[in-house]
Chains A and B, each alone.
Chain A
């Protein structure tokens, strides 16, 4: 069964450094998402992406964050200058075409900021 893949599984970074989290969505999906989950808290929406542009973003997704689809398969989340509070699990999700399809999640990247 097709799946969303994320790399790396765990990223440890010094505060203030840039990180790029990578995702390969399911191949025929057109909608892409990033969510995060701080340990012990809810899964929170960050950003949605469709047709090579951001369609929605949350208050969390400030100027330190950016997303990109650099080629036909990858979807990346960049955090420019990481803060301690960016430590969380980051999940990529993708969705096929059609109203209200379910989103399928990757295994996540655990980001630890030191």
Chain B
């Protein structure tokens, strides 16, 4: 059974701070990792993808991957109230099916 685990939160950060979201996965052969943002009642929206160990930066977002530790993280710099959402970690498996974590709810307080 492939598992993707996330702390459900809520993670509360003040506006302008760095939010750090973490995810672990069980399937060692996974090669592709994604972060999606989901607002309440809406669909998952792709934020970042990462495929190799290390950091990948895109604007205020940085994804970090450590395959040896089976760990993926997402950093959001200069957090804004509009970043308040649930962040879903997703891992690619056989047939490119995605296995999602339960999501971490982020609250950015003005």
Contact = CB atoms under 8 A, between A and B. Distances in A.
A33 interface: yes
Interface stretch (A13-21, A39-47, A66-74, A75-83): A39-47
Main secondary structure of the interface of B (DSSP, over half): mixed
Interface residues of A, number: 24
Contacts, number: 56
Contacts of B51: 100
Main secondary structure of the interface of A (DSSP, over half): strand
A85 to B, nearest CB: 19
Interface in B27-84: 31-32, 34, 36, 42-46, 49, 51
A41 B45 CA distance: 17
Given A42-B102, A42-B103, 4 more contacts: A43-B88, A43-B90, A105-B44, A107-B43
